[in-house]
Amino acid sequence: MARKLLPLLLALAIAAPQSALADDASYCAELSALYRRYLGNTGERVLPDVTAAVAMDQCDKGNYAQGIPPLEKKLRDARFTLPKRS
């Protein structure tokens, strides 16, 4: 019985982090798109928001843990409702 469960458990352990990464990637992309669409080109700022630009760059590079929190904060501060994470 244990021999049959081991491959299944290994497959689940490998699939879970990949699924989480895919979820983080899509969530980060969605946050970036919201920021770009509604806050990126307001015309009010002379200088671009460096924090948001760095966060979106981190998302593009796959560093979701560094990209997601600043984008969430920028959107929350602008009174946006954040999208649900899948």
Question: Model's pTM, two decimal places?
Answer: 0.72
What pLDDT does residue 44 have?
63
What pLDDT does residue 14 have?
47
Query: Domain ranges in the chain?
Result: 21-86
What pLDDT does residue 15 have?
45
Q: Which residues of the chain have pLDDT under 50?
A: 8-18
Q: How many CA atoms lie within 13 A of 21 on its CB side?
A: 9
| DSSP sequence for 33-67 | HHHHHHTTT-S--SS--HHHHHHHHHHHTT-HHHH
Q: What is the pLDDT of residues 62-84, one digit of tens each?
A: 999 999 999 999 999 999 999 99
What pLDDT does residue 43 have?
66
